[in-house]
Amino acid sequence: MSSRQTQEREWHRQFILERAVTEFAQHGYQGTTMERIAEAAEVSKGTLYNYFSSKRDLFLSLIEWGSGRAREIVEEALEDEEKSIEERIRILVNHFMEFFETGRDIHRILMTEGNRIAVSGPGDLGPAIRSHYLKFITRLAEFISQGQQEGVFRPADPQRAAMVVLNIVGAELSHSIISDYPEPVSTHAEAVADFVLGALGSPVISRGPAR
């Protein structure tokens, strides 16, 4: 097969994934039909199976892709050792918020469906997703641990703290849905970061409009 064909095949695969994300985000794993995905991706049902061996495979590919992107965000935000710990947390939240804007759907899946499926999903999706989740959490926990050693954060189980950070960020997503406000979610990145830093124990000096 020529390289160009391989390339195009990969593009097409990506395209299908991108369209599928929205469906899964809106209807959940079980509620999303291959038929709908096919329509959303503007291909026939059969074509889906030329790219993914099953619905499960498609969904897992999507989780992998999404959690990969999320890990990149964490990495990019945390790796710059020149910046202060607090600064880096703010950047992390910021990047996450922006990721929401463009990848709001994939995040929603990661947060809710992933959470539920990690418990006892159909076709044993659980372990696979849980593993992606853990890689993600672990990196964040390491950073928090470092912050604790430097005295910036108060002592607490780093993994629990990482989970808390993740869920506070997720709370903003829920809030945006419930409140149905018009402005981009990332507008509130500062406010969210305040909650995160507060939870981790850092003295909060909000730089947002409040106060």
Binding site for DNA (CB under 7 A): 1, 5, 9, 12, 32-35, 43-47, 49-51, 53-56
In sequence order, the 6+-apart residues with CB closer than 8 A to the CB of 188 are 97, 172
Query: Nearest distance from residue 98's CB to a second copy, in Å?
Result: 18
Closest approach of DNA to the CB of residue 59, in Å? 9
Task: Output the CA angle 184-185-190, nearest 5 degrees.
Answer: 115
Quote the least distance from Cβ 82 to a second copy, whole Å: 26
Report the alpha-carbon distance of residue 74 to residue 88 in Å, rounded.
Answer: 10
Q: Are 121 and 29 in contact (CB under 8 A)?
A: yes
Which residue blocks in 32-188 are alpha helix, DSSP H?
34-40, 45-51, 55-79, 85-108, 114-120, 126-149, 158-179
Site for a second copy in 84-123 (CB under 8 A): 108, 111-113, 115-116, 118-122
Instruction: Please tell me whether residue 1 binds a second copy under the rule CB under 8 A.
Output: no
Written as six digits, the tokens of 194 are 């305040």
Choices 53-61, 64-72, 86-94, 170-178; region in contact with a second copy by CB under 8 A: 170-178
Residues that bind a second copy (CB under 8 A): 25-28, 30-31, 108, 111-113, 115-116, 118-122, 130, 133-134, 137, 154-157, 159-161, 163-164, 166-168, 170-172, 174-175, 177-179, 188, 191, 194-196, 198-201, 204, 206, 210-211
